[in-house]
Structure 1
Amino acid sequence: MPSRPTVLVVAPADEALRGYCLDQVAAAYDVVLITGSAPTWEHRCIRDVEIADPADETALLAAGQALAARHTLHGVVTWSEWDLVNVARLAEHLGLRTNTPQVIRDCRNKAAQRTLFARQRVPSAKAMTAHTLLEAALAAETIGYPVVLKPAAYAASIGVSRATRAEQLPGAFNFAQAGAAHSRESAAVLVEEYLHGPEISAECVTHQGRTSAVAVTRKTLGPAPYFEEIAHSVDANDPLLEQVGPVAASAVRALGLTDGIQHVEMRLTEAGPRLIEVNARIAGDLIGHLVHLATGINLPAPPPTSPAAPPPTSPEPAVRRPVSACSTPPCPGRSPPATSAKGSRPTHRGCARCTGCARSATPSPCRPPGPCTARASGSSPSPAPAPARSNNAPASSSTSSPSPPPRPHSARTFRKQEPVSTDLDSFGPDDPVLVSPRYLAGPGLEQPPLAAAMVWSSLTNAGWSTHTPDDWRPMLCASPCQLVRAAHMPNATDSGWKTAVYEDALAAPWWTAFWSAETPAELLTDFHRALAEAHAAGSLHSLTSATAVYLPLLNAGWSHTVDERGNQRFTSPDRLATVTGQRRPSHVSDAWSIDVAPGTTGSCRWSARFSKQVPNALVAAFTTSLADTTPVYRRAGTLPKELGSYLVTEPAPALGRSEAAAPAPVPPPAGPGQSTARQR
């Protein structure tokens, strides 16, 4: 019999949930082992062993070197989440092909995953990190309830719960923070958007940068607000595989994974599959065993990844045999883990009854046995590069288990009375133009950090703090008291700008204002300048006469009508913009709303909403800017050609090369003593 390749397994874990993994590896390869204690049940599968704590990098490398001196190693593998980074270092140390430790570290950190997903445009949940309850409240109000709170770098659903209202946030934050305190990588808490829809996972195999989704796992979750998985099912012919497979593969690529097994969790929302997280290991519980029962594929035993030899032929799947499966009882959320005497090996404390064995007919004390039937399937091709699928493998199985803004340019003031035909084709797409009316000019600065720097310049000059991530995640600006918060949410399903004022940092906002993403930056800048002044004067709760809101519109020639309910409507001369004021707004309706070019598409269409308690002085600052006839600076290529007959344009002075990176609006002049925006 020819000798078989030798694979090093690190931290085989318990027999009940991971015994099948070691059995399947041993069926294909010779196995040598590194474990933290003397082996017991593992003896049937191994040829050699070194005792070392996998959490101790120095001890792990020494043990691996000792085994490499006695055996020719072709690969190293672990299915322990806690040891992934150290095992990647070990493989690198032994010269075996592996994912880099930094890639694995990113996979262990859910916040880092969100950043990489956003950078590669992989559909995922909006998310922000928080280290304090106040930061979590700011994040939750920015993202919008309900939200999910979880340790930024942990596993096994420990510390994960949902908050549907502000009153639930402190408990959810404390629960997540207790779990995060045990993490080796980060003590931060992740606050993320709650994704509505069924939760599934894609089980993937990646070899030399090529990823194949080989199975879909459908999940049943326990009672809210926790996310404990209490049942799983796998069907070899699941039609979801073709839909979610490409999304899972794009997520694996975004993280830089090139080899191994991945457990990719997502939710099926109305907008399509959206990522929750990627685990750079085989799935937990008995999902890998289910995949084998349903498809014949042995996920724990992929081809060895040593560059020294080509992968051997994959082993044939085991013949179908009767199995028993047990239903997992609901678990009231996983509590933070206890640790061993060495403090390095987390153990599950809070649902110890959920560890019954589903690999034999012997039930756990809390789980009665139940039959697990399998339907025979016909021949089906095996997805490359995964191991081949048996023709008589069962078809399904289930078990319950920024740069500062550009300098201002001079512009003449004029009023447009009638539409003037302007041929935008006479300008090149990068030609600078001055355009009016400003409400049809589009957003201007399109790079979110530049836009935020301009819009919030008055706030940052007044000492407000900013939180600006490097990528396309929400950007925040908060007053020193943290009771006034502004947010910019680019590239989200509800992208735009939001400002809120609170009477209590952890309560619902007293009032809110929202603008869609295409709102011109000049109008937003004027509103936030007035906001900074009102905050300094302590007048964020004063309600003055509404006359100040609509007087600038009437002076600019806007028409005025009143409906039978007493609601007022002001319409621009070109009839492309309307301002509506509710006579008796409720606490859940908007007192003032603005809609521009609602019947069109593209960069000129936008809207704004102001809730009942927004001071009229602030709304007036916005309508004054809305009615202002001073032209604004744009690049001709950003203007909507379908509205060319409504625009007045004229050539503008060209900007220098460094200022020509983006279509830039005219920023407000800096006041005495003003400085550039600070970032924290």
Structure 2
Amino acid sequence: MTRNAPGALLVIGSGLKLYREYIVRAFADRVHAAGLRLVLINNLRPTWQHDYFDDITVVNVFDHQLLAETARQLAGRYTVNGLVCWDEPLVMPAAELAAEFGVPGLSIPGVHGCRDKHSSRSRLTEAGLPQPGFELVPDLDHARVAAARIGYPVVVKPRALGASMGVSLAADERELEFAYRVAHEASLIGDEPYRGGAIIEGFADGPEISVDAAVHKGEYLPMFLARKSTGMPPFFEETGHVVDSADPLLADEALMGALATAHQVLGIEDGITHTEVRLTARGPVIIEVNGRLGGDLIPFLGQVATGVEPGSVLFDVATGLRPDLTQTRAGVAGIRFGYPDHDCVVRSVTVPEQSAGLVLASRMVEPGTTLRLPPGGYIARHSFVVCAGPDPRTCARRLDAAAALVELDADPVDPPPASTPLTMPAGLLDVDDLDGQR
């Protein structure tokens, strides 16, 4: 760092416009109001990011050595006052850089507990928190032994992927063979240290929720609680979420206690986390803790429902401030994703411009995009609608009505042959403008 270098907040990966611009907007306002620069290291050529960032460097951020070298070069030009990352594949190198630069972050043990599902499950079990039986296995033979020990049904998942990619349920040994292959092959697109094999774990039966929270010097501060909808069994594709500012689970002592304990056990110090939980007959079971904001626009739903601004909270935790999470509005907001009925090539997608309670609607793919359902692909979404309402029932009716107005024109295609290498999901546009976006 040079003498009198300007202060800056360093961001690792901006994310996609559809999913992250609303966060960047508020975050940038706080950064600039504090007299700091906003500096981005990004994998893609910037478009919309120019409106918010003062300095943008484009490198292959998935080459972690190159990412670290680039960050160190920037740290020589700026005084790094904080470092943030909300992109799942990059949270580990971001946390390592935060520790190196001496700014608030998840901590090295914390990020490993978040990123490595086997490490997380092991540490939570040792701490006495309710957890399913589990085992990390290197091959199908070991998977059979583990599943027999744990007891069917079992969930089979990659060690370190997000968005439920490669995750499926196996009711017996015959289904286990298929589920293991799906998880193993999906893992090959993830971080190299976690490729191959799979985790076998008991199925925690019950409704699934997620909780986004700030962590300030180890203190767990819940922000938003989302009720999740999934589909396409035996897979767990996330089809929608609903956030209620008055959700009674926010006052559930057992749930909040388990969440706080889990974060302490994993050693998470500063940042924002997204924790997935199953509400089982024996109490809340933490499925995984992610060291980032929730995806699927869940923080946006939280902002609409409660008035809490996630970008502003990010600034606080990144700079060592305890965030103010006081709700400024009361209501319910939900999102519903549009999926095709079968693998297809998209001709066009039309979303509604008006519908009761409609907050936002957008297509998510361009014409010509191939959408593949599990196990040939994941997150095969062509659109979404976001609606708000005074209560969960009204919000659900409005989501149904708005989703029914989405029109998909597509040509069916055959699923890919078995063992075809998995590619990252198609679509998820990162462009300046989208026809139909409101």
TM range (shorter): 0.7 to 0.9
Residue equivalent to 2:425:
none
**Distance across 2 between alignment mates of 1:265 and 1:22:** 24
Residue equivalent to 2:257:
246
Residue of 85, 106, 110 corresponding to 1:103: 110
Secondary structure at the aligned position of 1:373 is classed as strand
Residue of 188, 195, 198 corresponding to 1:189: 198
**Distance across 2 between alignment mates of 1:221 and 1:82:** 23
Secondary structure at the aligned position of 2:90 is classed as helix
Q: 1:319 to 1:248 in 2, by over 3 A?
A: closer
Residue equivalent to 1:53:
60
Residue of 359, 370, 375 corresponding to 2:390: 375
**Distance across 2 between alignment mates of 1:100 and 1:53:** 24
* Residue 145 of structure 2 corresponds to residue 138 of structure 1: yes
Residue equivalent to 1:17:
19
Q: Which amino acid aligns with 1:132?
A: D
Report how far residue 140 of structure 1 moved. 0.7
**Distance across 2 between alignment mates of 1:156 and 1:318:** 30
Following superposition of structure 1 onto structure 2, how do residues 36-435 of structure 1 map, counting pairs within 5 Å?
Answer: 36-184=43-191, 185-186=193-194, 187-243=196-252, 244-302=255-313, 304=315, 311=321, 326-329=336-339, 360-364=360-364, 372-375=387-390
**Distance across 2 between alignment mates of 1:324 and 1:54:** 32
Greater percentage in helix: 2
Report how far residue 371 of structure 1 moved. 6.3
**Distance across 2 between alignment mates of 1:239 and 1:260:** 25
Q: Which amino acid aligns with 2:167?
A: V
**Distance across 1 between alignment mates of 2:61 and 2:384:** 34
Residue equivalent to 1:32:
39
Q: 1:103 to 1:139 in 2, by over 3 A?
A: same
Report how far residue 128 of structure 1 moved. 0.9
Secondary structure at the aligned position of 1:301 is classed as helix
User: Cα deviation per residue 1:229-282 (whole Å; 9 max; x = unaligned)?
Assistant: 101000010001122222111111111101111111111111111111111111
**Distance across 1 between alignment mates of 2:305 and 2:187:** 36
Q: 1:134 to 1:235 in 2, by over 3 A?
A: same
User: Cα deviation per residue 1:123-163 (whole Å; 9 max; x = unaligned)?
Assistant: 12111111111111111111111000001122221110000
Q: 1:359 to 1:13 in 2, by over 3 A?
A: farther
Q: Which amino acid aligns with 1:222?
A: G
Q: 1:319 to 1:250 in 2, by over 3 A?
A: closer
Q: Residue 222 of structure 1 contacts residue 331 of structure 1 at CA under 8 Å; is this kept in 2?
A: no
**Percent identical residues:** 29
User: Cα deviation per residue 1:330-388 (whole Å; 9 max; x = unaligned)?
Assistant: 7889xxxxxxxxxxxxxxx999x99x999744445776775612439xxxxxxxxxxxx
Q: 1:315 to 1:220 in 2, by over 3 A?
A: closer
User: Cα deviation per residue 1:558-598 (whole Å; 9 max; x = unaligned)?
Assistant: xxxxxxxxxxxxxxxxxxxxxxxxxxxxxxxxxxxxxxxxx
Report how far residue 113 of structure 1 moved. 0.8
**Distance across 1 between alignment mates of 2:325 and 2:73:** 28
Report how far residue 50 of structure 1 moved. 1.8
Report how far residue 103 of structure 1 moved. 2.8
Residue equivalent to 1:535:
none
The structure whose RCO (Cα within 8 Å, separation 6+) is larger is: 2
Q: Residue 153 of structure 2 contacts residue 202 of structure 2 at CA under 8 Å; is this kept in 1?
A: yes
Q: Residue 216 of structure 1 contacts residue 241 of structure 1 at CA under 8 Å; is this kept in 2?
A: yes
Residue equivalent to 2:376:
none
**Distance across 1 between alignment mates of 2:172 and 2:399:** 34
Q: Residue 387 of structure 2 contacts residue 399 of structure 2 at CA under 8 Å; is this kept in 1?
A: yes
Q: Residue 50 of structure 1 contacts residue 67 of structure 1 at CA under 8 Å; is this kept in 2?
A: no
**Distance across 1 between alignment mates of 2:300 and 2:317:** 25
**Distance across 1 between alignment mates of 2:40 and 2:70:** 9
Q: Residue 325 of structure 1 contacts residue 359 of structure 1 at CA under 8 Å; is this kept in 2?
A: no
User: Cα deviation per residue 1:46-90 (whole Å; 9 max; x = unaligned)?
Assistant: 111122222223322232233334433321111111011111122
**Distance across 2 between alignment mates of 1:159 and 1:170:** 13
Q: 1:238 to 1:46 in 2, by over 3 A?
A: same
Which moved further from structure 2: 74-83 or 365-374? 365-374
Normalised TM-score (structure 1): 0.48
Q: Which amino acid aligns with 2:289?
A: V
Show structure 2 runs of 5+ residues with no match.
1-5, 33-37, 353-357, 366-380, 404-438
Greater radius of gyration (CA):
1
**Distance across 2 between alignment mates of 1:286 and 1:166:** 37
Q: Which amino acid aligns with 1:192?
A: E
Q: Which amino acid aligns with 1:199?
A: E
**Distance across 1 between alignment mates of 2:247 and 2:334:** 22
**Distance across 1 between alignment mates of 2:145 and 2:18:** 43
Q: Which amino acid aligns with 2:61?
A: P
Secondary structure at the aligned position of 1:140 is classed as helix
Report how far residue 290 of structure 1 moved. 0.7
Report how far residue 104 of structure 1 moved. 1.0
Q: 1:279 to 1:325 in 2, by over 3 A?
A: closer
Show structure 1 runs of 5+ residues with no match.
334-348, 377-394, 402-680
Report how far residue 315 of structure 1 moved. 11
Residue equivalent to 1:654:
none
How many residue pairs end up in the alignment? Answer: 361
**Distance across 2 between alignment mates of 1:221 and 1:62:** 40
The alignment's C-alpha RMSD in Å is 3.6
Q: Residue 41 of structure 2 contacts residue 57 of structure 2 at CA under 8 Å; is this kept in 1?
A: yes
Normalised TM-score (structure 2): 0.73
Q: 1:325 to 1:123 in 2, by over 3 A?
A: closer
Secondary structure at the aligned position of 2:135 is classed as strand
Q: Which amino acid aligns with 2:285?
A: R
Secondary structure at the aligned position of 1:267 is classed as strand
Q: Which amino acid aligns with 1:101?
A: I
Q: 1:24 to 1:314 in 2, by over 3 A?
A: farther
**Distance across 2 between alignment mates of 1:85 and 1:75:** 16
Report how far residue 40 of structure 1 moved. 0.7
Q: 1:278 to 1:39 in 2, by over 3 A?
A: same
Q: Residue 74 of structure 1 contacts residue 306 of structure 1 at CA under 8 Å; is this kept in 2?
A: no
Report how far residue 223 of structure 1 moved. 2.5
